[in-house]
Amino acid sequence: MRPQVFRWLLVALLALVLVYACADRKVASWRESNELVVLTSPGPLTYTPGAQDNGGEAGAGFEYDLVSLFAEEAGLKLKLVSVGNYREVAQALKRGAGHMAAAWLVWHPGVANSEFQATTPFFQSSHLLVQHEASLPITSTEQLAGRTVHVVARSRHADLLAGLPALNPPVTVQEHPEWSDLDLLQAVAEQRIELALTDGPILDIAQNYYPQLSATLQIGEPQPIAWLFPGDADPELVAKAEAFLGRVHKDGTLVRLKDRYFGHVRRLKQFDVVQFLERTRSLLPDFRTQFESAQARTGIDWRLIAALAYQESQWDPMATSPTGVRGMMMLTEETADRLGVSNRLDPKQSISAGARYLADIRDQLPETVKEPDRTWMALAAYNLGLGHMKGGLAIAPSTEADPDSWFEMKRVLPLLSRPEYYRRLKSGRARGGEAVIMVENIRIFYDILTRHEPPYIPPKPVVERKEKKGDKKGKKRH
């Protein structure tokens, strides 16, 4: 492991330990503190600490984004407290360690109303039995007799298996306290364990990392995911949460958020994922330094630049298309000349220029377009050209689409190939549908690389110490 990566992981772990320690304290009233304390459990569906800024306070995740929007609407400062697994979250909530919990929590009638209050569900999550594709498929719970199913320790999946009808011989549930859901599925993919139980959305994500995973059996019915509040929670805060969830469901914000995290994960075929993973081992190491240098120059994550390059050329520096674009980043001759590229087939020049071109496009998009939508639109413009992208933004309002949302623009850009739309535009006709497919593919490649490849943290520049007045003169300088 690289030293800088180890330091980043250590900082992230220390942050988690500190916030975990806060979970035993009873929180002050949200009215007095003007702060919303939310209990959560890190994971691919909830919250990934520092995922966007390599160790900073901000993070990413579907439920994190949703609760952040709620706190903003309520005029409260969000404080996220990470608390182990879902059972510990529930216990901490009962102790009053948070105003609410957002940790992919299932609400069902078996939970006493005196202990918790729940919002209207905002997601339905299925529970899938996962095995390696080379195994004989299990299609009924009766086939689990005498088998061992692995789960994350103290998870609701363990409770779900415990509630199955009695089998002879019984099913063995093996809990893993040190593993996350993705660790569990990696073990299945590597055939270190045979069976695991996980959430459907997590499997969708994991199959892009480990394409040999297969699920043939759903355990139980899909369950509703909701936010939980203590039984004695302030009714006004609960009402605010209900009103917020009702609004985001009605105005499409919830659908857009689901698309941001889950809308692209099932696009690639298994063969495409297998081929990409193979090339990350055989080809990517040859160009990693150039991608990292491009990040240092532009600030764009090297893994995103690499994902773009793979979509453009499959990391072939000699790639050439019938339209005349060439090289690793498939630059046109005009773009290459403008960026000072003397040889488009030189991967170092091509990668640097392609990254600078992407950064330039991103900077020219309207200020109202925020991240990550800004990056997805910049990638589309990389394929279409900025003029066509701006044409798409211009016609968006006439289609009742939000031009600041990538989710909305995904249905607008294909219209650029239809005469009734492109005839209105100076930029003319464009294959906007192809650009949408390209961006969604890049998002998957980027997700895979962020799972398998560490971030690059550029070294800090060495600052020479200025000689202080009074230092001895005559020292040799090297």
- Whether 215 and 294 map to the same domain: the answer is no
Tell me whether residue 466 is in a domain. Answer: no
Task: Assess whether 207 and 347 both reside in one domain.
Answer: no
pLDDT attached to residue 59 = 65
Residue 215 lies in a domain: yes
Is the same domain home to 159 and 249?
no
Residue 392 in any domain: the answer is: yes
Q: Pull the structure tokens for residue 17.
A: 């330990």
Least confident among 14-28, 66-80, 82-96: 14-28
Model confidence at 90, pLDDT cuts 50, 70, 90, reads confident
Beta strand 123-125 with 223-230 is antiparallel
Q: By mean pLDDT, which of 44-58, 160-174, 335-349, 381-395 is the weakest?
A: 44-58
Mean pLDDT over 311-327 rounds to 91
Instruction: Please tell me the distance from the alpha carbon of residue 134 to that of residue 71, in angstroms, as a whole number.
Output: 46
Burial class (CB in 10 A: 0-12, 13-18, 19+), 113: exposed
Domain boundary among 221, 252, 285: 221
H helix count then E strand count, the chain: 19, 13
Cβ contacts of 184 within 8 Å, gap of 6 or more: 150, 151, 152, 176, 193, 196, 198
Report CA dihedral (404, 410, 416, 421) to the nearest 10 degrees: -60
Residue 461's pLDDT band, with cuts at 50, 70 and 90, is low
Q: Could you give the count of Cα atoms lying within 13 Å of 105 in the half-sphere of its Cβ?
A: 29
Do 353 and 425 belong to one domain? yes
Q: Which of 232, 262, 292 is the last residue in one of the domains?
A: 262
Number of domains into which the chain is organized: 3
- Residue 113: pLDDT band (50, 70, 90) is low
308: in domain: yes
Asked whether residue 179 is assigned to any structural domain, the reply reads: yes
How large is the average pLDDT for residues 447-451?
Answer: 93
- Annotated catalytic residue, options 57, 88, 190, 312: 312
Query: What phi and psi, each to the nearest 5 degrees, are found at residue 16?
Result: -65, -40
Domain presence at residue 461: no
Q: How confident is the model at residue 75 (pLDDT cuts 50, 70, 90)?
A: very high
Mean pLDDT of 440-444: 93
Q: Are residues 292 and 383 in the same domain?
A: yes
Closest Cα to residue 224, out of 126, 103, 121, 128?
121
- Please check whether residue 9 lies inside any domain of the structure: yes
- Catalytic status, residue 312: yes
pLDDT of 196 over the 70 cut: yes
Q: Are residues 195 and 74 in the same domain?
A: no
**51-67: burial string, b at 16+ Cβ within 10 Å, e else:** beebbeeebbbbbbbbb
Structural domain range at position 304 = 270-452
The whole-angstrom separation of Cα 445 and Cα 306 is: 9
Q: What is the pLDDT of residues 6-38, one digit of tens each?
A: 444 444 444 444 444 444 568 889 999 999 999
CATH number of the domain at 418, please.
1.10.530.10
pLDDT range class, residue 335, cuts 50, 70, 90? very high
Residue 458 counted as domain residue: no
User: What is the side-by-side order of every strand in the sheet holding 213-218?
Assistant: 172-176, 148-152, 195-199, 127-132, 213-218
Same domain, 97 and 145: no
Residues 290 and 319 in one domain: yes
User: pLDDT tens, 419-441?
Assistant: 888 888 888 888 898 899 999 99
Shared-domain flag, residues 140 and 73: no
CATH number for the domain spanning 204: value is 3.40.190.10
- Provide CB contacts within 8 A for 363, sequence distance 6+: none
Both 215 and 232 in a single domain?
no
274 and 383: one domain? yes
CA nearest neighbour of 173 among 184, 182, 200: 184
- 183 with 119, same domain: the answer is no
